[in-house]
Amino acid sequence: MKLGFDSQKYLEEQSKFILERVNNFDKLYLEFGGKLIFDKHAKRCLPGFDENAKIKLLQKLKDKLEVIIAFYAGDIERNKIRGDFGISYDMDVLKLIDDLRTHGLEINSVVITRYENQPAATVFINKLEQMGIKVYKHSKTKGYPTDVNTIVSDEGYGQNPYIETTKPIVVVTAPGPGSGKLATCLNQLYHENKLGRKVGYSKFETFPVWNMPLKHPLNIAYEAATVDLKDVNMVDSFHLEAYNEVTVNYNRDIETFPVLKRIIEKITGEESMYKSPTDMGVNRIGFGIIDDEVIREASKQEIIRRYFKTGIEYKKGLCDLDTFDRSKLIMEELDLKPTDRAVVEPARTYAVELEKIKEATIPVMALKLENGEIVLGKNGSAMDAIAACVINALKKYTGISDDIHLLSPAILNPIIDLKTKKLGDQKSLLDLEEVLIALSVSAAFNPIAQEALDALASLKGCQAHSTVMLSTSNESTLRNLDIDFTADNVFASSNLFYDK
């Protein structure tokens, strides 16, 4: 893979810049947007970016910081799902706490924002407290966003409890957007100021990249990733007016800046040091780019991937038609087609050929190996297309002949019988996880199967495409293998439950 980004250079630049910002205050509240750990979007758009670069950045500063996790109570009620992991936001909070602790970072607390005694949120609070996690409950800020006098008063931020912090850097992060990170930071600024401390606020947001062109594919890829939020990149008019310098920010930050500036000035009683939303940021991601052409191509591929993802969400009723149409417009803006993703056309072509022969729709998956070779798989008599494709890819990678069966019927048939006859599973075809378990059993007495199993790690980062939507199990297994997959927004069958 050709690299377009230098993670080490970025880490050095970013940590230096944050420390410079901290020097202006006794304490800095740093709103951390985007994925703190496993930032797959940044990794795909910036080849060479370490998906855990941000956590490594915090590790460099760990003696100076602690972490608050903000979580919107409504996301618990709606059971909101984090798309890249396929887990709910509340479970992602638990995962985030475990991950941060593993990396030696101090978790101060979890704050549940806009809490109104929602039953599911209350259950989650009780669960956290039983686990020994300190939890704060913040209600909706009275008067927000227009009545600054009420916001910055005992009726506004004053009604919420102060979160006790001791370190010079307080990172406020969340499992996703709209979690109340900003409100938490401002609430803390209000209480800290009343205690006589000089504190500041800054924002760490990876995208959009402020010092890249507005219409650069990297910034457009951010719009593609946030179509559900209707984020739009814009020239930061405040920065342009103050410094006569063109920088990029997104609509929500630009729209809220005047109010945010007034709130901060009301809290501190001083004129803000920030003249623009760009001023508030501490994002140095642009300084890590070493090959613009590589970044452009990777970003275009991410836009296509997001288009497929949004199409599936629309088909499943998880987003509206307007959101899906917006993803199409973004594709058209860069003159991109779904088939510009290398694995799409081979999968679709093979599916058409099979339909002519079988006179029925047969699910197909195509996978591109590191050497550029495309491997195909289809639903068979024992395993589904995803499992078949991965097995074929392992055979191709290791040079095992197609004539050799890695998995004999003596192993597969008992598993199928167990599923369908004893466990009552309506899906007779084995999925990817089940086939890989069978392969690991075969490896105990079959050296060739062991060779194939050992090659699994070689599929990391490979691209794949399915002609039908994937089951939850197959999605999860492909994610665990770090195979970057897309799918057409076509249901695998007419079943309403059993193939999901």
List, by residue range, all CATH 3.40.140.40 domains of the chain. 345-487
Q: Which of 187, 92, 192, 76 is nearest to 126 (CA)?
A: 76
- Looking at per-residue confidence, does 43 or 36 come out higher? 43
- From the candidate CATH numbers 3.30.70.360, 3.10.630.10, 2.40.50.140, 3.30.9.10, the one assigned to the domain spanning 7-220+234-292: 3.10.630.10
CATH class of 345-487: alpha beta
Fill in the amino acid letter for 127: K
pLDDT digits (tens, 9 = 90+) for 469-485: 999 999 999 999 999 99
pLDDT, position 79: 67
Beta-carbon-side half-sphere exposure of residue 43 (alpha carbons within 13 Å) = 16
- Which residue, chain included where needed, has tokens 């669960």? 127
User: According to the model, what pLDDT value does residue 494 have?
Assistant: 66
Q: Which residues contact 82 (CB under 8 A, 6 or more apart)?
A: 88, 89, 92, 175, 176
Q: How many CB atoms lie within 10 A of CB 286?
A: 15
Q: What is the pLDDT of residue 248?
A: 97
Q: Which candidate, 488, 454, 492, 455, places its Cα nearest to that of 473?
A: 492
pLDDT greater than 60 at residue 496? no
More confident residue, 360 or 324: 324
Q: Which residue has the tokens 């191709």?
A: 396
Average pLDDT over residues 110-131: 94
pLDDT at 245 over 60: yes
Where are the CATH 3.10.630.10 domain residues in the chain?
7-220+234-292
pLDDT value at 82 more than 90:
no
